[in-house]
Amino acid sequence: MTLNVNRRSLLTAGAAAMVAPGIWTTPLPAAAQSGGQPTIVDITRARTEPIPIAIPDMAGSPLGAQISRVITNNLRNSGLFRPVDRQAFIQTTESAAATPRFQDWRVIGAVALVTGRVDGTGDRLRVEFRLWDILPEQQALGTAYNATGSNWRQIAHIISDDIYKRMLGETGYFNTRIAYIAETGPRDRRVRRLAIMDQDGENNRFLTDGQFQALTPRFHPDATRIAFMSYQRNEPRVYLFNLESGRQEVLGNFGGMTLSPRFSPDGRSVVLSAVRGGDANIFVVDMASRRERQLTSGGGLDVSPCFSPDGTQIVFNSDRGGDQQIYVMDAGGGGARRISFGNGRYATPVWSPRGDLIAFTRIARGQFAIGVMRPDGSGERILSEGWGMEGPTFAPNGRVLMFYRESASRDNRGSGYSARLSSIDIAGFNERQIVTPTDASDPSWSPLIS
Amino acid sequence: MAATKTFLAAVAAAGLLVACSSDPDTSASTAGAGAGSGSGSVRPGSQEDLVANVGDRVFFDTALNGVRPDQRPVLQRQAAWLAQYPQNQVTVEGHADERGTREYNLALGQRRANSARDVLVASGVAGSRIQTISYGKDRPDALGSNEDAWARNRRAVTVVR
């Protein structure tokens, strides 16, 4: 899905592997080994002390410093790493990139060190990266990346994911994007545009011009397409946006409003809600034939469907029992059972890519909250609570949620109202606001880009 | 229980406020303050006429979507007005307040628009003259974050196309 990629191999030798469009890797042999046990930190516990890691600027090209900053921000923002203060560094960048003096990094408290070297510019960029395990004094990872210069940010994200995986034993989420709705203008005449950015808020782009309201974008599992809702022709319908061509098309004309789309895990169908008469029901639409199949019928408003990652079940929101609650049914329809039984209304269920949790919005006692529960409804935990918040989306590794937070109007002119994106660890710590150029809502986290 | 009673009282009070604020001079849907205050400046059969002399909107209780008995007369007057101007086509726009989630409120607004349309049709308006659309919580009329604003925003508005 990356634009401006160069798919030519820029390698001249070595066992190369393409890790992303236009980015090729070769392993770097370990330079210094002295045995010992590698450090892998267990983060399955609710909360751990962040890992102290030293990330000096990469040597060589000035791009090296920028790559190191991106890696530093990614790891710090995860809440699971603590980049060591650069002022404390003893060994110089150039010298560490050649051969680290482990003692110099141990005394400043680092358990890991990231070094690298960047050569070339523009079309031919080579980034050598090494992760060092300070205590056993050994190289934990070593990779050379060859790519076009415009991909330097993506290389920094891929390196961040390499470090995350090596240190924590699970897949990262840094080489990903966020689709969201950019909001501008007064609250009663808001302009809502489809927008996309890297997960760290960089490379922001507006995908629609705001002439028609856009809402609720959701990524296709291959990350090249987005399903969303558009008010084109004053007929709110589910549309598809192709990120490679920039074109959009209506998913289909099924009569009446269609909303809350989500792709199936295999990408071959879209599950959505359609309002006809007094009810809203769940339908699944086959992407190839565009034929629809009705999954729920009668009795209230059924919205916000989302597949389980194995594709066998669908979680959705319904007021069939009197107020909004969360239900799970078989993917073919039928067998619906309520899973939310706490105090208040429950909405916007979304299944974790790991399959183990369902995130939701709860509205109770005038407060909104974001929480998680197991798919059988047990183990409910509230992660964040406030005046207004909704619409959680999981990072592809299931470890972080993003959602949007609204603040109340202070007066009858709407002063003080805002909508902003936040992320939080599913253990309920490290909530951070995501910087966006405008107000923002309805985030959708892409799969890992590869 | 006491809390529920207080809340209902607040909603009732909000309803009264709404009744006052649907005066054309303060209605947000009136184009230009002071335009059409019942004087001869209003073109018969126009949106301004509907707002000033009939009432362009009905209000709903929290989370309930049926047209309230006290709001039916507004729709019946709209039906009579539409019979007077048979060339007029209308869109009924359904809305919800901000105390709900976006997707559910889109469906809720659509259901409110549909129930207002059903009353118009039952009052003699041809269904082919009426379109419906929902904006959920995304096009508030009142911009405050309080009970009065929420009561004003739970609405279905009839707009001449």
- B119: domain CATH number is 3.30.1330.60
The architecture of the domain spanning A177-445 is 6 Propeller (2.120)
**Is B9 a domain residue?**
yes
Q: DSSP string of A267-331? A: SSEEEEEEEETTEEEEEEEETTT--EEE---SSSBEEEEEE-TTSSEEEEEE-TTSS-EEEEEET
Pick the CATH number of A17-168 from 3.30.499.10, 3.40.50.800, 3.40.50.1100, 3.40.50.10070: 3.40.50.10070
Query: Is the pLDDT score of A218 beyond 90?
Result: yes
Q: Which of B151, B160, B153 is nearest to B7 (CA)?
A: B151
Q: DSSP string of B50-112? A: HHHHT-SEEE--TT--SPPGGGHHHHHHHHHHHHH-TT--EEEEEE--SSS-HHHHHHHHHHH
- Asked if A412 lies within 8 A of B144 by C-beta distance, the reply is yes
At A93 the pLDDT is 85
Are A147 and A124 in contact, with CB atoms under 8 Å apart?
A: no
**Is B35 a domain residue?**
no
Least confident of A122-131, A333-342, A403-412: A122-131
Residues of chain A with CATH 3.40.50.10070: 17-168
Q: DSSP string of A79-99? A: TSEEEPPGGG--S-HHHHHH-
Q: How many Å apart are CA B97 and CA B93, to the nearest integer?
A: 14
Span between the terminal Cα atoms of chain B, in Å: 45
Q: How many Å apart are CA A296 and CA A319, to the nearest integer?
A: 13
Q: How many Å apart are CA B99 and CA B149, to the nearest integer?
A: 11
Convert the pLDDT of each residue in A347-383 to its tens digit.
999 999 999 999 999 999 989 999 999 999 999 999 9
At B25 the pLDDT is 36
Beta partners for A401? A394, A424
Q: Which residues in chain B have their CB less than 8 angstroms from residue A279's CB?
A: 111
- Asked if A188 lies within 8 A of B140 by C-beta distance, the reply is yes
Query: Is the pLDDT score of A5 beyond 70?
Result: no
Range of the domain at B134: 2-30+40-160
**Rounded (10°) CA dihedral A440, A191, A287, A306:** 40
A26 vs A62: which has the higher pLDDT: A62
**Is B77 a domain residue?**
yes
Query: Is the pLDDT score of B141 beyond 90?
Result: yes
Would you place residue B9 in the very low, low, confident or very high pLDDT band (cuts 50, 70, 90)?
Answer: very low
The partner residue sitting opposite B149, judged by closest CB among A190, A348, A412, is A412
At B7 the pLDDT is 40
CA A351 vs CA A46, A76, A360, B75, B122: distances in Å: 20, 26, 9, 43, 43
Are A304 and B105 in contact, with CB atoms under 8 Å apart?
A: no
Q: What is the count of structural domains for chain B?
A: 1
Contacts 24+ apart (CB under 8 A), A14-17: A14/A144, A16/A146
Question: What is the pTM assigned to this prediction?
Answer: 0.88
- Asked if B143 lies within 8 A of A188 by C-beta distance, the reply is yes
Query: Is the pLDDT score of A313 beyond 60?
Result: yes
At A22 the pLDDT is 74
B84 Cβ contact list (under 8 Å, min separation 6): B45
Convert the pLDDT of each residue in B78-126 to its tens digit.
999 999 999 999 999 999 999 999 999 999 999 999 999 999 999 999 9
Instruction: Pick the most confident of A135-149, A283-297, B2-16.
Output: A283-297
The partner residue sitting opposite A414, judged by closest CB among B101, B111, B143, is B143
Average pLDDT, chain A: 91
- Asked if A303 lies within 8 A of B63 by C-beta distance, the reply is no
Convert the pLDDT of each residue in B20-57 to its tens digit.
333 333 333 433 333 334 456 899 999 999 999 999 99
- Asked if A414 lies within 8 A of B106 by C-beta distance, the reply is no
Convert the pLDDT of each residue in A199-215 to its tens digit.
999 999 999 999 999 99
Separation in Å, CA of B45 to nearest CA in chain A: 23
Report, as an integer, the average pLDDT of A167-194: 96
For residue B91, give the chain A residue with the closest CA.
A234
- Asked if B144 lies within 8 A of A414 by C-beta distance, the reply is yes
- Asked if B103 lies within 8 A of A277 by C-beta distance, the reply is no
Residues of chain A with CATH 2.120.10.30: 177-445
For residue B135, give the chain A residue with the closest CA.
A236
ipTM (interface predicted TM): 0.91
At B32 the pLDDT is 36
Report, as an integer, the average pLDDT of B53-62: 95
A129 Cβ contact list (under 8 Å, min separation 6): A28, A58, A114, A115, A116, A141, A142, A143, A144, A145, A159, A162
Report, as an integer, the average pLDDT of A14-27: 70
Tokens 């609570």 belong to A385
Convert the pLDDT of each residue in A231-244 to its tens digit.
999 999 999 999 99
CB pairs under 8 A between A and B: 111
